[in-house]
C-alpha cells in the first residue's frame, strides 16, 4: 500500500483543520503541519476519528511524507506568513512540485509569488476558498487560478472536496496568474454589498415599521423561499431568532453596531477604481462599515442633532413585498458590478475568465450562494453589457425599481441611512440615462483648467475662454 500522502496542508487554524478533514473524508491521505505544534496536537487529539491524516512536526518531515510531485496547500494568515512558508519550503521542494495558497491573499501578491515559484521550477495556485468554517468541512466553493498544470495535479482532490450542485462541483480552474484570488476578492466585494443591503432592510423594518427581531426573523425566513433566497438571507433569519442566554433578549440587539473588516471589500473598490469600473453599491457597503466604526462620535452627534427613533408607519404585506423587491434589486446590482469588474479584469489582466463558470461555482458552498445565480448564469451566457440589463432580468429589474424608489424615499424621509439601497438606484438610473450632467463637469474642467471638451453637434476638441481675458 502506498502510504505517501496525496496532499499536505500547512496551517491548522479552523479553516485548515476543516479542509484537511473534508479532504481526508473523501479518501485522500493528508499530511498536516502547523508552526505552533500544540495546535496540531490538539487537532489530532480532539477531532480525528480515524481519518487518514498524518501529523508532522517539522517542515522536513512534512515534505518527506508527501508523494511526488508534492502538493502543498497553505491555509495560513494572508500576508507575511505565506511568504515565510514559501521561502522555507523552496529548498525542500523539487521542480514540478505544487504550492497552493488557500488564504485570502491580494491578487497582486499572488502574481508575485507565482513568479517566485516559477523561477524555481515550481507550480503555484492562488486559490480562493469561500464558505467559512462550515464550508471548509462540508464543501466550500473553491476558486483556483495560476498554473494550469498545477491545477491538473489537484483537480480530483479539490473538486471532490468542493460543494456539489446540480451542474457539477463548485470548483473550476479559473485562469492564469492571480485570477483565483481576484475572483475571490470580487466575491467578497459582492458579499459586503449583499450584507449591507440586508442590514439596511432590517434597519427600515425595525426603525420605521417598529418590528421586533422575532417579527423580522419570520420575514427573512419567508423570503428565503423567494427570489432573494440565499445563504445570507437564510443566516439573517437564523441570527434574528437567537436569544442571549443571560438576558433572554434577542442577541442581535445586544451586539455593538460597529463593523470590522479585513480588507477584501476595500480591495474590490480600490481595484475597481484602478480599472475604471463603477461599483458604487460595493463602495457604499465598504464606506458603511467604516462609518459604523465611529460609534462614540455617532452617539455624540446624534445627541447634538436631537435624533429620536419614533416609528410611524404601519407594516403590511405591500410594504413587505416592496422591501423584498428592493433587496432583490440591490442583490442584482451587486452581482452586476462584480461581474462587470471581472469582465474588465479578464481583458485588462488577460485572465480569460469564464464568467458563466464563475456564477456556477458560486451556486454552492460559498457565502454568495443564492437562487438568483441560476438566472445570472443564463444572463451571462447572453453576454450582456451588465447583468441587470440581460433579458433574463430587465422586466423584473424595472418592476423592482419602482418599489425600491418608494422604500428609499421613505427611508430618506425618516432620516434612516440606506447608502447601498440608494446607490443601487443611482447605479441603475445612471446606467440607463442617455444623458448625464457630465456636460457641466466638462465645462467646469475647461473653465478652471483648460481641460477642453467635446461637443455633441460637431467633431473635434474645444476650449473656451469662459470669463474675461486670459492675460
Q: Provide the CB-side half-sphere exposure for 223 (13 A, CA).
A: 31
Q: From the CB of 9, what's the least distance to ligand 2AM, in Å?
A: 10
Cell readout for 292 is: 459604523
Percent helix / strand / coil, the chain, rounded to 5: 55, 10, 35
Q: From the CB of 21, what's the least distance to ligand 2AM, in Å?
A: 15
Q: From the CB of 122, what's the least distance to ligand 2AM, in Å?
A: 19
> How many Å apart are CA 26 and CA 358, to the nearest integer?
24
Nearer to ligand 2AM, 89 or 332 (CB): 89
Q: From the CB of 1, what's the least distance to ligand 2AM, in Å?
A: 30
Nearest to 4 by CA among 51, 72, 68: 68
Nearer to ligand 2AM, 68 or 77 (CB): 77
| Positions in the binding site for ligand 2AM (CB under 6 A) | 11-13, 34-36, 39, 76-77, 80-81, 84
> How many Å apart are CA 430 and CA 386, to the nearest integer?
13
Judge whether 191 counts as a catalytic residue: yes
Strands 7-10 and 30-33: parallel
Nearer to ligand 2AM, 12 or 100 (CB): 12
> How many Å apart are CA 120 and CA 147, to the nearest integer?
14
Cell 446606467 sits on residue: 431
Q: From the CB of 39, what's the least distance to ligand 2AM, in Å?
A: 4
Nearer to ligand 2AM, 92 or 344 (CB): 92
Nearest to 183 by CA among 78, 264, 276, 284: 264
Nearer to ligand 2AM, 45 or 80 (CB): 80
- Choose the catalytic residue: 191, 200, 337, 392: 191
- Choose the catalytic residue: 111, 159, 184, 266: 184
Nearer to ligand 2AM, 36 or 435 (CB): 36
Angle at 292 (CA atoms; ends 299, 205), nearest 5 degrees: 85
CA distances from 264 to 91, 136, 193, 272, 465 (A): 32, 19, 12, 12, 46
Q: What is the 3-state secondary structure (H, E, C) of 49-118?
A: CCCCEEECCCHHHHHHCECCCCEEEECCCCCHHHHHHHHHHHHHCCCCCEEEECCCCCHHHHHHHHHHHH
Cell readout for 265 is: 471589500
Q: From the CB of 12, what's the least distance to ligand 2AM, in Å?
A: 5
Positions annotated as catalytic residues are: 184, 191
Amino acid at each position: 500500500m502506498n502510504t505517501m500522502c496525496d496532499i499536505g496542508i500547512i496551517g491548522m487554524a479552523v479553516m485548515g483543520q476543516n479542509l484537511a478533514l473534508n479532504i481526508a473524508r473523501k479518501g485522500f491521505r493528508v499530511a498536516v503541519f502547523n508552526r505552533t505544534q500544540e495546535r496540531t496536537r490538539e487537532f489530532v487529539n480532539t477531532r480525528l476519528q480515524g481519518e487518514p491524516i498524518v501529523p508532522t512536526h517539522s517542515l522536513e518531515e512534512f515534505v518527506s511524507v508527501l508523494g511526488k510531485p508534492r502538493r502543498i496547500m497553505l491555509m495560513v494568515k494572508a500576508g507575511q506568513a505565506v511568504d515565510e512558508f514559501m521561502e522555507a519550503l523552496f529548498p525542500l521542494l523539487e521542480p514540478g512540485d505544487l504550492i497552493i495558497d488557500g488564504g485570502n491573499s491580494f491578487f497582486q501578491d499572488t502574481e508575485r509569488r507565482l513568479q517566485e515559484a516559477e523561477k524555481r521550477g515550481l507550480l503555484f495556485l492562488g486559490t480562493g476558498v469561500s464558505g467559512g468554517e462550515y464550508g471548509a468541512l462540508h464543501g466550500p466553493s473553491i476558486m483556483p487560478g495560476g498554473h494550469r498544470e498545477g491545477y491538473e495535479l489537484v483537480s480530483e482532490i479539490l473538486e471532490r472536496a468542493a460543494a456539489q450542485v446540480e451542474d457539477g462541483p463548485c470548483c473550476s480552474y479559473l485562469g492564469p496568474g492571480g485570477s483565483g484570488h481576484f475572483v475571490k476578492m470580487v466575491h467578497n466585494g459582492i458579499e459586503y454589498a449583499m450584507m449591507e443591503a440586508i442590514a439596511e432592510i432590517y434597519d427600515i423594518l425595525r426603525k420605521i415599521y417598529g418590528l421586533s427581531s422575532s417579527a423580522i426573523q419570520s420575514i427573512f425566513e419567508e423570503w428565503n423561499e423567494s427570489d432573494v433566497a440565499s445563504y445570507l438571507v437564510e443566516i439573517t433569519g437564523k441570527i434574528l431568532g437567537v436569544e442571549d442566554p443571560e438576558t433572554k433578549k434577542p442577541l442581535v440587539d445586544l451586539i455593538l453596531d460597529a463593523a470590522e473588516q479585513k480588507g477584501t471589500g476595500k480591495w474590490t473598490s480600490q481595484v475597481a477604481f484602478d480599472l475604471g469600473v463603477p461599483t458604487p453599491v460595493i463602495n457604499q457597503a465598504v464606506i458603511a462599515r467604516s462609518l459604523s466604526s465611529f460609534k462614540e462620535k455617532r452617539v455624540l452627534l446624534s445627541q447634538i442633532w436631537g435624533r429620536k427613533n419614533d416609528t410611524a408607519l404601519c407594516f403590511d404585506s405591500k410594504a413587505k413585498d416592496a422591501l423584498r423587491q428592493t433587496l432583490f434589486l440591490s442583490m442584482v446590482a451587486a452581482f452586476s458590478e462584480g461581474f462587470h469588474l471581472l469582465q474588465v479584469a479578464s481583458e485588462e489582466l488577460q485572465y480569460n475568465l469564464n464568467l458563466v463558470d464563475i456564477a456556477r461555482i458560486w451556486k454552492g458552498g460559498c457565502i454568495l450562494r443564492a437562487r438568483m445565480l441560476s438566472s445570472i448564469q443564463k444572463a451571462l451566457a447572453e453576454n450582456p453589457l451588465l447583468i441587470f440589463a440581460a433579458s433574463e432580468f430587465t422586466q423584473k429589474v424595472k418592476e423592482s425599481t419602482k418599489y425600491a424608489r418608494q422604500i428609499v424615499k421613505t427611508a430618506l424621509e425618516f432620516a434612516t441611512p440606506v447608502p447601498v439601497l440608494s446607490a443601487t438606484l443611482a447605479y441603475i438610473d445612471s446606467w440607463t440615462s442617455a444623458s448625464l450632467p457630465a456636460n457641466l463637469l466638462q465645462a467646469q474642467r475647461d473653465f478652471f483648467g483648460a481641460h477642453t471638451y467635446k461637443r455633441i453637434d460637431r467633431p473635434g476638441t474645444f476650449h473656451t475662454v469662459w470669463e474675461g481675458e486670459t492675460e
